[in-house]
Every structure is written in C-alpha cells, then in structure tokens.
C-alpha cells in the first residue's frame, strides 16, 4: 500500500460554516476518536497537507482563499467536504453571497453528510478518501499529469486577483487594479 | 632592509605626489600602480624572509650604502631621531592649532602634556641615553609577525586605497558643489600605510611612538574629513582618546629610560627582560610591570577597547574606505599588534594575580562580551561592523593577555582573518550604501535579487565572521581551547556567551541578504569597476585564507612562536590538532562545491508563499481586512529591551575602567613602596 | 589502526562512524515514533504505530515537488542535512567536541537561512525564533564540552569514551544544564518556539511552513541524525570504559528522553523571553558554577593521575 495512505496529513478550512462541523472535526483529534492512530496529523499548513477538510457553504470572500489553499497543496491531494453545507450549501444555499457548496469552487473527492457531521462519519470519509489518494498517487507515479495541477485551478497570479474581485462583486476594484497594472506596465 | 624601507618610503612619496594631483584620470593610475607595487613588494618580502628568524634591519654600530656613499648607521639613526622629534612636535602643534580652532580644550591639554613630556625627555635624557649606550642597537627589525602585518597592510590596505578611487568619485558626486579634497584624502590614506609599516618594523620604541602618533593624526584628519559638526566632534573624540594612550606610551618610554635595568628603548630588550622574569618565576618588578602595563594601555586605546570604544564608533562618519582601513589593516591593528608583541610579558600566574596580563585579559574579555551585546540591538550595518570589530579586537587582546604560545597563535590568526573579512564587509556595505541609499540592514532586504554579486560577496564576508568552517570561528575555537588550557575561566565564559550573541546578529543579517524577495530587478550595473574588482578580490582572499590557513600557521606563525617562546615545546604552539584543521579545510571546500553544484537549480513547481490563503499572488502583498492590499514587510528582532546598547556600553565601561583603575593604583602603590624601600637604604637589591 | 595527520585512528572509530551513518536514521525515526506513541499514551490516546515517522517520510518523498521563488530554501535544507550528518559523524568518529558543536551550529544556521530565504512571514518568524533558541542553548552546550575537557583532558569524544573518569561524577551541574537545554534542542514545550509538532500554532508550522515534499523529509531525517547525536552527548557523561557503565548510560539516556517527553506534555509553551533568560541563568549557575569547581578539581585530578 502506498505510504500516502498511512500518513494522510490534513488541513482544515472553515468556509463560513456555523462552526458545528468544525467542532466535530476537532473532536476527531481528541483522545475519544484519536485520528493520529491512522497517522493523521492536523498540520494547518497546505504545503504539508494531503487532505483538505472543508466545512461550510463557502461565501464570496472565501472563494479566492479556498482556491489558493487548494492550489498550495502539493499533489496528490484530495478534498473532503464535511457537512450538508459543504455538500450543497445546506440552509444557506439561497443566500446572495454563498457559492453553494465546495464543489462550486474546487473539485471535491468525498462528501461527508450530516448536520453537524459526526466524528465517526468524518473519520469514515477521510478513510474513504485514502483510496482516492492512493489512486492519484499511482497516477502521478505512472507519469500522468495531475488534473488538479494542470487544470483550471492552477494558481495564476495575474488573473487571480481579478477573479477574486469579480466574485466578490467588487467589479470596480478589479477595474482599479487592471488600471493600476496598465500604468505599472507603462 | 631595502624592501622594508622602500615600503615606508614608497607610500610616503606616493602620498606626496597624490597631494599635488587634482585630476581623476592621473590619480587613478598612480593609486592603482602604487597599490599593486606595495602589495607586490610585501609579498616579495614575505616570500624572502619567512624563515622565522628575527632580522635586525638597522643595527648600529654598522654602515649602509646610500647612493654609493657609506653612511654610519649611528649617525643616520641620530639624524632620523632628530627629524622624528621635529616632525612629532609639528604634528602636536597641528593638533593644538586645530584644537584652538574648534575650541577643544581637552585635546589641546593632552597634546601639550604629551609633547612637552616627550620633548623634555628626549632633549634632557633620551639622546644622552642613546649616545651613551654603546652596545649594539637595533632600530628596525623584521620577524614573521611583522611580515604578516606588512602583508595585511600591503595587500588589504592598498586594496582599500584602490577601492577608494571609485568610492570617492561617487562620494564627490553626492557632495556636489563642495570643494574636491580628494588629493588630501589620498595623501592621508597612503601616509597611513607608511606609518603602519613603520610601527610594525620599529624596534626602537621612540621610533615606534613617532609612527604611532602619525596614525593618530591621520585617523583624526580622516574621521574629520567631511568637516561636518558631527565629524569634527567625533574626530576630536578619537584624537583625545588616542592622546591618552599616547601619554601612556610616553610615560612608558620615560620609565624605560629611568629604569636602571632597562635603560634603553628597545622593544626586543624589554621582551627579553620580561621573558627572564617570567622564566625565573619571580613576583615581578612593579616598575617593569608598570612599563608593560602602560604600553598595553596605549595599545588598548588604539585598539578601541572599552572604556575607549567610543572613538571607533564615532569614526563611522568618515567615508567608508576610511572605516575599512581603520578597522581592518591599520590603526586598531596597530594597538593589537603592540599588545600581541608584549604577550611574552603578559599572562597570569593565578586566578587573581594583578598584573598587566590580568588587566588585558579582563579588558579584552569584557569588551568582547559587552560589545557583542551592544551589536545585538543595532540595525545600522556600519555600527554592527564597528561593534563586531571592537568585540573581535577584545578577543585578540584577551588572547594576547593570556600570553601562552597557543593563545598568541589564536591572536595572530584572528588578526589575519579579521583583517581580510572585515575589510571585505566594509567595502560591501560602502558599495551597497551608494547604490541603495541606506546602510541599514533592514533595507538590504532581498539584496540577493537587486545586487546579486555584491550580496554574494557580503554573504561570504558575514559567513566568514562567525560560521564554521571559516577562519574567524576556527580562531575562536582555538581561543577557547587556549583559555581552558590556561584556566582563564572568566574569559572563557565571556567568549562563550559573546559568541552566542554574535551568532544571532550575524545570522539575522545573513537572513536579510539571502531572502529571495519577489520582483527585484538588478541595480548592480552602475557600480564602479574598481570597487567591484577589489570587493571580489577580497572575497577570494576570505575563501583562500580559510582554506590555506594551516599553511600560514605552519609556515609563518609557528616559526614566530618558536623564536618568541623559545622555552616552550613546539607541539603546544597550536591549540588545534592538525587533523582538525585539515578537516575544517575540507569543509570549506565542501561548502564551495555544494554552492557551485546545487545552488539555483530548481526544477520544482513554484507556488506562492503561504499567507493564510490571502496572498495576492505576487508574494509582496496580501488581502487585508476590508479587502485592502497590505504590503508584506518583514523586520528582524533587535532586543532593545533585553540588551539596550547604552546600558551594555555603560556596564562594559564601568567594568573595564574599574580594572584599569585597580591595576594602575596597585602599581602606583607598589612602585611607591619600592621607591621608599630603595630610599630607606635597601638600594642594592632594587637596582638589579 | 592508521594515522591521519598525527591522529591515530582505530577500527572501532571507523566502525562506530559507519554504524552511525547507517543506523542513526532508523534509530532516530524509531525514537520519534516511540516519542509520539508515549505522548499519545500520556494524553490517553492510542497513538500512531511506532514506525509512523517512516511512513511520513516515505510519503513526503513521493509528493509532488513544489517550492517557493527560486527554490533556494531547498538547497539550504539539503546543506543542513549534510552538515548535520557531518557533525554527527565527527561525534561518533571521535573527533573534537567543539568541532562537533560548531558544525552542528552551521547545520542549524543553514536551516535558519532556509527559513529566511523564502521571505515568508511565518517562516521568517520561525527562523528568528530558531535563532533565538540557538542563542539560548549554545553557551550551555559549549560549556559541557569544556567540562568534558576538564575531566578527561581531551575534547575528543573517542578519548572521553575510553577515559577512566566517570564524567557525571565531576559534572552533575553541567548534566542538569545540558538536560535543560536539551528540551530546547529537541523542540519540546515549553521551548518549541520555532516549529512545533502540535497542531494549530500561531506560527502555522513556523520555520518549516514553506517546506514541502522531499525538503520536509530531509529536514525530518536531519532531526533524526541530530537527536541520536544529542543522546550520544548525554551518554558520554556515563562512560568510564567499563561495560557496566555502558548499560547505565543507555538507561539514563532512555530516562532523560522520557523526562523530556513528560515535560513536553505537562508544559504549555512559554514566551521567548523565558527561553532565553532561563537557559542563560541555568547555564551560568549550573554550567559556570560546575566549571569553577572543576577548575580547582582539575589540579587535584591531574595530581592523582601523576601519583598513579
């Protein structure tokens, strides 16, 4: 079995959730559930992490942050969306500022249901994700280009800021910025 | 003899020529030519004479030929002595006149005291003692330590002069509209070199004192070169503190003349007596100890040891080549040179034995510790360098104070490494200052992107100052060993804690230099070619010296120690095992190979820095609250609360002053007691 | 036996060097695994398998290679690993302890520079804290070496190992001081300022924030090499050439490491001021005090050896 499945390090991001799921994620680290049994460490740092645990429906301000954190994780990597909100927006679905689910922003590999998701099911979700992780690792080893890297989510410093602004509804900000860039170019 | 005298005369002649040269295009070839000639001469001299024998260069009675005429050295020496007295008096008058002009009473008073004392002594006693002494007299000599010093002065010193060409061009451009006083500047630089060579080859202390005074005057004029109020103040502080040392020097000369057992002015004679006293294991003659103590005191002032450190800090107002010269190859090195020369008379016999050795060790150790502490809170690169110089000189002085062969080995090694590395660093900071407009370390943020070559040079310099396997650290290691061997635990503790702090302030500078900051474009193209060439050359020296130091040790220092410490077995000259030195040498090579092979070859995917997901993508700004762009600024720690500069300086000054006062009052007491004993009829025993 | 620039080198030295180079990563990794297991048990958890650190490194080794800016940090971390191995090799080969310490310092400086070179806010703060930690522990480590010299008349670890003097007998103060700064060196609370294995620190992952993949793995391996050498230092206190003391030494090393884990688990992290002040005060009192006693004792020891 690939080493990656024995040492899945996680980063946990709160995409504007009600904190219910977040508390359950952290509960997994406690002696009661003790995810370190599986070699899981909560790194808090995308550059060390293999699994992005993300809660909440992701609001407009979160979008660039979530993308950036996702981009900063080296492949192979998976995303586990935790709770109903992360799956499809949940009760916040129709809000004006809500993306409505993590998969509107970045690709998700495993959905963990529940409101709030129970620690057992979170652990179950992560363990399910390990299979995906192993597949991705194998694909990477066989020389395939990683879709997560070469695809649309690859970090693009130039257009990045603009995208963020537009999605924030800050079209003027984007305009200002592009004007500033033009001036700088001159 | 020819080359040595040429090394004094050539810079002198060049200095006078440069005084008359107004145009850049003529000055440049003269300076470069003279610099190369001086360096070449010193190398030739070193290659010809490194056997470890002391050469009496100018011995009388004897003769030498000058332009086909046989001249008795006796007459010539007397002539030179008279000339020195006259020129010395003129120099003192110059200081007094300037003192009157700028209303500096202390400088006037000290200059008058010093000049009056030396004039009185020379005219009433000195010449008579010289004339009455019919035994062989050595005026000039050359041994391996002098050779090392000549190499440093000749190569580093003249390199700095060449660097100054480009630097002063920029300097003049920055000070547009003011009178171009560069002829004067270069006159002083070359005069300085001549005087330094004079110091390291004079065996007659009156001669040495003459050159000593020239360096004092030169540094005074160079520090005050810009003539701003700050520069004038600092130059007077320098001259006042150095005149205090000068007075001590004069007092030592007078006492040598008065002392029945010495009765001449020869350094070699003084050292012989000291070695005999040490070998006999006697308690020491308080008058003799006082002479050594006074000379060491003069050395301490010149080497900017606490409590006299303030002049070297003030000297930063001068143009950077001056700082480089003062810190690396001249001035302060004259102070440590004298103390290292005295090392056979220093040393301590017990943990609390009050003697010149005790004084020098405590002053050196305390200076190392507190100057290092003070450097911690500095962000001005030149101030960091200045404190580091003071600290390292303290270490050298403490080593010399320990007085054993292995400690002197460390001291000389430190002198070499420090001269090479510190000159490199000053020149780098000078160039960087002209390009980025600041000498603050924080502004050197990401210098690697802006001035890659200069940053590389600076990195080599900074690493050379504190990091294994480079030279300074090896000497520090040897110094620790020497301190342990001689049981000087206080000094050992000072070195250990001081080194820990040293590590911190150098590394944070190194960190600033190595940081790779985004979007930096090179601004290196406009740097003067001579500046770059000399800085590059010194970088190469730093590395070469780090690799070849075992050969320096074996070829030059050990033979010198063999002559100086003839009673000590040869295997204890070097504190380090030769296997350790070879291993360190290999590590230097390894570092260079690693950098050449691996640095900068990146085939990895580059991603932006982690800034909690809010990096704007350029690594320079992040999205702050209310969606504002906030630039990232990174600053170092300076510990102003834990190691406040003023307090650290004050403690250092108090400790060292207390030791100086203690030691000298003890001598005065002891000498008075001895005098009373002699007067009361026990004269026979005292006149030994 | 052969001679290298005046040093006689025994087969034993070569053997221990080879053993260190080959076994230290395994032993270091195992110790790290046991550390995590014991920590988990202290917290009432099951904890990861003992070989977990090897899984971690194996995983990191296969991750996608990514870096920041010019990738300079990866070069510095590699240098850190190389110098760490060299320092350890010097120690187990029996070279001068001061040389070992200085090479170790160089390795740590490379790590600090790696942190600085990324110009990342988290990494730089971590780097400076690492530097502060070095400033805190360096004097004590050097004093320990000096103490060994005073007792055994040699800085060479090979000589200290076989010397008839039992160092702990003469340098208990230095031992206490060393164990104290070992807490800093092993990155245990309350002194895990620069990088911490505990989750969710204000520093993210401190010094290591920008490292990933193989670079992080190299750093981990360098810690393994370093820890084995540090424990070697502790062991050196208990040697006098007899086999019995070898066993005692190993037991003490285990106890010391256990105590460090215990301290890690019962302490919260303190401010950096506490690290610096406490380490220096302990160094001065226990280290300096012990040395001054030794200084007088040394004359006695030498006289005793002359007498025999």
Helix count (H) and strand count (E) of chain A? 7, 5
Whether B134 and chain A come into contact, CB under 8 Å, resolves to no
For residue B54, the SS3 value is coil
Residue B352 forms part of a structural domain: no
What is the domain count for chain B? 2
Q: Are residues B329 and B375 in the same domain?
A: no
CA dihedral B552→B555→B556→B562, nearest 10 degrees, is: 130
Which residue of C43, C66, C199 is in closest CB contact with A74? C66
Contact check, Cβ <8 Å, C71/B602:
yes
Cβ-Cβ contacts under 8 Å, C33 against chain A: none
Contact check, Cβ <8 Å, C292/B516:
no
For chain B, give the mean pLDDT.
Answer: 84
Whether B607 and chain A come into contact, CB under 8 Å, resolves to yes
* Range scoring the smallest mean pLDDT among B91-100, B119-128, B451-460, B488-497: B119-128
pLDDT digits (tens, 9 = 90+) for B14-26: 999 988 888 888 8
**pLDDT value at position B282?**
57
- The Cα–Cα gap between C101 and B655 comes to 31
Residue C4 forms part of a structural domain: no
Please provide the distance, in angstroms rounded to a whole number, between the alpha carbons at the two ends of chain B. Answer: 35
CB B416, CB B552: distance < 8 Å: yes
What is the domain count for chain C? 1
Nearest Cα to B164, choosing from B306, B325, B15, B292?
B325
Mean per-residue pLDDT for B416-436? 89
Work out the pLDDT band at B260, boundaries 50, 70, 90.
confident
Q: Are residues B337 and B434 in the same domain?
A: no
- Residues of chain A below pLDDT 70: 1, 144-186
Q: Domain limits of chain A? A: 3-143, 156-186
- The Cα–Cα gap between A161 and A63 comes to 11
Rg (CA), chain A: 18
Contact check, Cβ <8 Å, B619/C68:
yes
pTM for the complete prediction? 0.91
CATH topology assigned to domain A3-143: Rossmann fold (3.40.50)
Which residue of B613, B617, B627 is in closest CB contact with A173? B627
pLDDT digits (tens, 9 = 90+) for B549-565: 888 888 888 888 888 88
Of B70-84, B268-282, B626-640, give the range with the top mean pLDDT.
Answer: B626-640
Q: C290 vs chain A: nearest CA distance in angstroms?
A: 42
DSSP string, C61-109: HHS--EESTTSHHHHHHHHHHHHHHHHHHHHHHT-BHHHHHHHHHHHHH
Work out the pLDDT band at B570, boundaries 50, 70, 90.
low
Whether B614 and chain C come into contact, CB under 8 Å, resolves to no
Contact check, Cβ <8 Å, C109/B582:
no
Residue C173 forms part of a structural domain: yes
Per the model's pLDDT, the better-predicted residue between A181 and B70 turns out to be B70
Mean per-residue pLDDT for B467-496? 86
For A84: left if phi > 0, alpha if psi spans -120 to 50, otherwise beta; the answer is: alpha
Instruction: Return the number of other C-beta atoms located less than 10 Å from residue B125's C-beta.
Output: 14
Q: Where are the alpha helices (DSSP H) in A28-101?
A: 62-71, 84-88
User: Which position has the token pair 């060579």?
Assistant: B197
Is the pLDDT at B578 greater than 50? The verdict is yes
What residues make up the domain containing B483?
Answer: 357-600+608-656
Is the pLDDT at C287 greater than 60? The verdict is yes
CB B252, CB B205: distance < 8 Å: yes
Q: Are residues B229 and B332 in the same domain?
A: yes
Cβ-Cβ contacts under 8 Å, B510 against chain C: 109, 113, 116
Of A52-56, B280-284, B289-293, B313-317, give the range with the top mean pLDDT.
Answer: A52-56
Cβ-Cβ contacts under 8 Å, A13 against chain B: 613
Q: A138 vs chain B: nearest CA distance in angstroms?
A: 19
Whether B623 and chain A come into contact, CB under 8 Å, resolves to yes
What residues make up the domain containing C231?
Answer: 31-298
Residue C98 forms part of a structural domain: yes
Task: Name residue A52's beta-bridge partners.
Answer: A11, A79
**pLDDT value at position C139?**
94
Domain boundary among B345, B369, B395: B345
Largest CA distance in chain B: 94
Is the pLDDT at B467 greater than 80? The verdict is yes
Q: Are residues B313 and B341 in the same domain?
A: yes
Residue B682 forms part of a structural domain: no
- The Cα–Cα gap between B142 and B198 comes to 11
Please provide the distance, in angstroms rounded to a whole number, between the alpha carbons at the two ends of chain C. Answer: 28
Q: B611 vs chain A: nearest CA distance in angstroms?
A: 9
Work out the pLDDT band at B227, boundaries 50, 70, 90.
confident
**pLDDT value at position C4?**
65
Contact check, Cβ <8 Å, A161/B616:
yes
pLDDT digits (tens, 9 = 90+) for B148-165: 999 999 999 999 999 988
Measured CA distances, B479 to A24, B29, B123, B352, B364 (Å): 59, 42, 44, 20, 13
User: Which position has the token pair 């640095």?
Assistant: B599
Domain boundary among B345, B369, B385: B345
DSSP state of B557: I
Contact check, Cβ <8 Å, C132/B510:
no
Q: Is B229 exposed, middle or buried (0-12, 13-18, 19+ CB in 10 A)?
A: exposed
**pLDDT value at position A154?**
39
Whether B584 and chain C come into contact, CB under 8 Å, resolves to yes
Cβ-Cβ contacts under 8 Å, C205 against chain A: 43-45, 48
- The Cα–Cα gap between C156 and C94 comes to 6
Chain B interface test: which of C9, C131, C181, C277 (most B C-beta within 10 Å): C131
Mean per-residue pLDDT for B467-481? 85
pLDDT digits (tens, 9 = 90+) for C102-143: 999 999 999 999 999 888 889 999 999 999 999 999 999 999
Is the pLDDT at C184 greater than 80? The verdict is yes
Please provide the distance, in angstroms rounded to a whole number, between the alpha carbons at the two ends of chain A. Answer: 55
Q: Are residues B400 and B454 in the same domain?
A: yes
Residue B144 forms part of a structural domain: yes
Mean per-residue pLDDT for B444-453? 83
Which residue of A155, A168, A173 is in closest CB contact with B608? A155
Chain C interface test: which of A39, A42, A70, A136 (most C C-beta within 10 Å): A39
């Amino acid at each position: 079995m690939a080493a990656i499945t024995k040492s899945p390090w996680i980063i946990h991001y709160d995409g504007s959730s009600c904190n219910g799921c977040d508390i359950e994620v952290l509960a997994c680290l406690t002696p009661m559930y003790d995810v370190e049994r599986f070699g899981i460490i909560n790194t808090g740092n995308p550059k060390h992490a293999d699994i992005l645990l993300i809660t909440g429906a992701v609001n407009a301000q979160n979008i660039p942050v979530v993308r950036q954190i996702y981009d900063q994780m080296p492949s192979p990597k998976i995303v586990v969306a935790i709770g109903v909100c992360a799956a499809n927006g949940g009760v916040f679905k129709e809000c004006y500022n809500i993306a409505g689910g993590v998969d509107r922003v970045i690709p998700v590999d495993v959905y963990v249901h529940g409101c709030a998701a129970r620690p057992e099911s979170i652990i179950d979700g992560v363990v399910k994700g390990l299979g995906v992780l192993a597949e991705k690792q194998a694909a990477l080893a066989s020389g395939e280009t990683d879709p997560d890297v070469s695809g649309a989510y690859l970090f693009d410093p130039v257009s990045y800021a603009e995208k963020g602004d537009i999605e924030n509804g800050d079209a003027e900000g984007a305009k200002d910025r592009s004007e500033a860039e033009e001036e700088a170019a001159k | 003899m020819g080359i040595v005298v040429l090394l004094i005369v050539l810079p002198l002649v060049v200095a006078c020529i440069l005084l008359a040269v107004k145009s850049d295009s003529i000055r440049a070839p003269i300076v470069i030519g003279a610099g190369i000639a001086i360096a070449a001469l010193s190398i030739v001299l070193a290659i010809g004479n490194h056997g470890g024998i002391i050469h009496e260069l100018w011995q009388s009675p004897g003769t030498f030929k000058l332009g086909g005429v046989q001249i008795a050295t006796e007459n010539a020496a007397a002539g030179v002595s008279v000339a020195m007295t006259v020129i010395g008096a003129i120099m003192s008058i110059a200081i007094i006149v300037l003192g009157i002009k700028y209303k500096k009473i202390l400088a006037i008073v000290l200059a008058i005291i010093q000049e009056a004392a030396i004039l009185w002594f020379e005219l009433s006693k000195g010449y008579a003692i010289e004339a009455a002494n019919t035994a062989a007299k050595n005026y000039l000599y050359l041994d391996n330590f002098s050779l090392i010093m000549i190499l440093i002065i000749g190569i580093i010193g003249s390199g700095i002069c060449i660097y100054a060409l480009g630097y002063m061009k920029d300097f003049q451009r920055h000070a547009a509209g003011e009178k171009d006083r560069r002829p004067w500047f270069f006159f002083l630089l070359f005069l300085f070199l001549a005087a330094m060579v004079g110091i390291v080859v004079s065996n007659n202390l009156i001669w040495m004192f003459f050159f000593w005074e020239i360096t004092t005057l030169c540094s005074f004029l160079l520090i005050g070169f810009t003539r701003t109020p700050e520069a004038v103040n600092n130059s007077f502080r320098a001259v006042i503190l150095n005149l205090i040392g000068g007075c001590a020097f004069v007092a030592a000369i007078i006492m040598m003349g008065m002392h029945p057992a010495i009765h001449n002015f020869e350094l070699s004679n003084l050292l012989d007596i000291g070695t005999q006293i040490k070998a006999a294991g006697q308690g020491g003659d308080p008058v003799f100890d006082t002479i050594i103590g006074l000379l060491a005191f003069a050395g301490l002032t010149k080497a900017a040891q606490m409590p006299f450190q303030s002049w070297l800090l003030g000297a930063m107002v001068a143009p950077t080549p001056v700082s480089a010269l003062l810190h690396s190859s001249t001035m302060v090195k004259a102070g440590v040179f004298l103390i290292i020369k005295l090392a056979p008379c220093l040393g301590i016999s017990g943990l609390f034995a009050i003697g010149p050795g005790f004084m020098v060790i405590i002053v050196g150790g305390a200076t190392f510790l507190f100057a290092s502490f003070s450097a911690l809170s500095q962000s001005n690169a030149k101030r960091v360098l200045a404190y580091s110089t003071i600290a390292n000189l303290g270490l050298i002085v403490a080593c010399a104070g320990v007085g054993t062969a292995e400690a002197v080995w460390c001291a000389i090694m430190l002198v070499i490494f420090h001269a090479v590395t510190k000159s490199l660093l000053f020149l780098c900071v000078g160039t960087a200052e002209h390009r980025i407009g600041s000498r603050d370390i924080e502004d050197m943020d990401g210098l690697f992107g802006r001035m890659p070559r200069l940053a590389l040079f600076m990195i080599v310099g900074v690493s050379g100052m504190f990091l294994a396997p480079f030279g300074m650290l090896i000497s520090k290691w040897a110094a620790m060993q020497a301190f342990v061997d001689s049981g000087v635990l206080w000094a050992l503790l000072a070195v250990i804690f001081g080194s820990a702090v040293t590590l911190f302030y150098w590394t944070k500078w190194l960190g600033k230099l190595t940081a790779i900051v985004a979007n930096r474009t090179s601004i290196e193209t406009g740097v003067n070619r001579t500046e770059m060439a000399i800085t590059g050359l010194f970088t190469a020296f730093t590395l070469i010296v780090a690799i070849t130091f075992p050969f320096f040790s074996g070829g030059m220092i050990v033979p010198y120690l063999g002559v100086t410490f003839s009673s000590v077995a040869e295997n204890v000259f070097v504190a380090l095992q030769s296997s350790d030195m070879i291993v360190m040498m290999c590590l230097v090579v390894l570092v260079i190979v690693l950098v050449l092979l691996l640095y900068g070859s990146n085939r990895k995917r580059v991603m932006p820095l982690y800034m909690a997901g809010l990096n704007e993508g350029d690594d320079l700004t992040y999205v702050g609250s209310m969606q504002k762009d906030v630039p990232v600024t990174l600053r170092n720690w300076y510990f102003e609360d834990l190691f406040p500069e003023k307090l650290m300086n004050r403690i250092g000054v108090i400790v060292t002053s207390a030791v100086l006062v203690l030691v000298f009052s003890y001598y005065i007491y002891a000498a008075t007691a001895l005098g009373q004993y002699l007067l009361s009829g026990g004269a026979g025993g005292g006149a030994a | 036996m052969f001679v290298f620039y005046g040093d006689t080198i025994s087969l034993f030295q070569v053997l221990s060097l080879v053993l260190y180079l080959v076994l230290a990563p395994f032993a270091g990794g195992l110790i790290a695994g046991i550390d995590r297991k014991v920590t988990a048990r202290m917290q009432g958890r099951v904890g990861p398998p003992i070989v977990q650190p090897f899984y971690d490194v194996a995983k990191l080794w296969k991750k996608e290679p990514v870096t920041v800016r010019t990738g300079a940090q990866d070069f510095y971390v590699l240098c850190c690993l190389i110098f760490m191995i060299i320092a350890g090799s010097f120690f187990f080969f029996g070279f001068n302890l001061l040389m070992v310490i200085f090479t170790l310092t160089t390795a740590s400086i490379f790590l600090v520079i790696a942190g600085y070179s990324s110009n990342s806010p988290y990494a730089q703060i971590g780097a400076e804290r690492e530097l502060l930690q070095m400033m805190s522990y360096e004097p004590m480590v050097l004093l320990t070496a000096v103490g060994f010299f005073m007792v055994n008349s040699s800085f060479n670890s090979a000589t200290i190992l076989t010397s008839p003097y039992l160092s702990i007998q003469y340098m208990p103060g230095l031992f206490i001081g060393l164990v104290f700064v070992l807490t800093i060196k092993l990155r245990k609370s309350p002194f895990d300022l620069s990088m911490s294995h505990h989750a969710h620190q204000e520093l993210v992952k401190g010094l290591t924030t920008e490292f990933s993949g193989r670079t992080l793995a190299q750093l981990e391996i360098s810690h393994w090499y370093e820890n084995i050498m540090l424990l070697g230092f502790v062991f050196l206190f208990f040697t006098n050439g007899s086999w019995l003391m070898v066993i005692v030494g190993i037991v003490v090393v285990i106890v010391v490491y256990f105590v460090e884990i215990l301290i890690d688990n019962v302490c919260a992290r303190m401010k950096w001021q506490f690290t610096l002040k406490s380490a220096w005060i302990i160094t001065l009192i226990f280290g300096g005090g012990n040395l001054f006693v030794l200084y007088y004792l040394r004359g006695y020891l030498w006289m005793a050896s002359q007498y025999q």
